[in-house]
């Protein structure tokens, strides 16, 4: 998760070359939730990548165009907001609340004991005009570990409806769920893929 947050900072930072041309201005940005998706995938029984999402989150970015490496990003995710397609695809007559099971069960996100997933960036590095890596501290299930994700800067524009500037990015990477104390075994593999697509808007 924290990868996710770092990615946000990185995405904006990667836009630095365009800033000299009057692109994305410096300052504070926040995720546009309507146009942001935080998604994870786990390999189910070695056969297919099962997908879930989080729908309640907050991403904060402080963007420094003069030195993108000094930009900062933080994020919080509510694990109770997990969403899957199970309700729409479960067999007729099945009333299992799989989202709640994932959110609350001690084998999974254990949200009753750990109500937040947090991330804080610690480093951002460019690898190309629109690509880079972001590293940050991810706290998940009470365990804090560094995570590094790949970032792709998508673009920026002024939103005429809000009269505010927006930037967009995509973040991808992976982590091992057992590194954060989630039990080994079960139908979902240890590697969890993460993909974040987000628009950030000026505060």
Each residue's pLDDT tens digit, 112-133: 999 999 999 999 998 888 888 9
> Checking DSSP bridges between strand 188-202 and strand 164-176, what pairing results, if any?
antiparallel
User: Residue 179 is encoded by which pair of tokens?
Assistant: 């590194």
Enumerate the β-bridge partners of residue 27: 63
Q: Alpha-carbon distance 11 to 153, whole Å?
A: 5
From the centroid of its chain, how far is CA 129?
22
Return the CATH number of 2-202, one of 3.10.110.10, 3.40.50.300, 2.40.128.110, 3.30.70.270: 2.40.128.110
- The pLDDT-based confidence of 12 (bands split at 50, 70, 90) is very low
pTM for this predicted structure: 0.86
| CB neighbourhood size of 9 (10 A) | 36
């Amino acid at each position: 998760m924290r990868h996710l947050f770092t990615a946000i900072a990185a995405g904006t930072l990667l836009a630095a070359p365009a800033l000299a041309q009057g692109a994305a201005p410096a300052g504070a940005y926040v995720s546009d939730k309507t146009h942001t998706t935080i998604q994870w995938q786990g390999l189910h029984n070695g056969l297919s990548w099962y997908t879930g999402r989080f729908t309640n989150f907050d991403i904060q970015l402080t963007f420094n165009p003069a030195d993108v490496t000094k930009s900062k990003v933080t994020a919080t995710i509510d694990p109770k907001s997990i969403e899957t397609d199970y309700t729409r695809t479960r067999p007729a007559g099945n009333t299992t609340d799989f989202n709640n099971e994932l959110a609350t069960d001690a084998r999974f996100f254990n949200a009753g004991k750990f109500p937040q997933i947090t991330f804080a960036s610690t480093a951002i590095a460019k690898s190309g005009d629109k690509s880079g890596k972001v590293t940050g501290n991810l706290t998940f299930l009470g365990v804090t570990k560094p995570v590094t994700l790949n970032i792709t800067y998508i673009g920026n524009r002024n939103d005429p409806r809000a009269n505010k500037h927006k930037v967009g990015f995509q973040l991808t990477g992976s982590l091992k769920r057992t590194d954060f104390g989630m039990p080994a075994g079960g139908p979902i593999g240890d590697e969890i893929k993460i993909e974040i697509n987000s628009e950030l808007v000026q505060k």
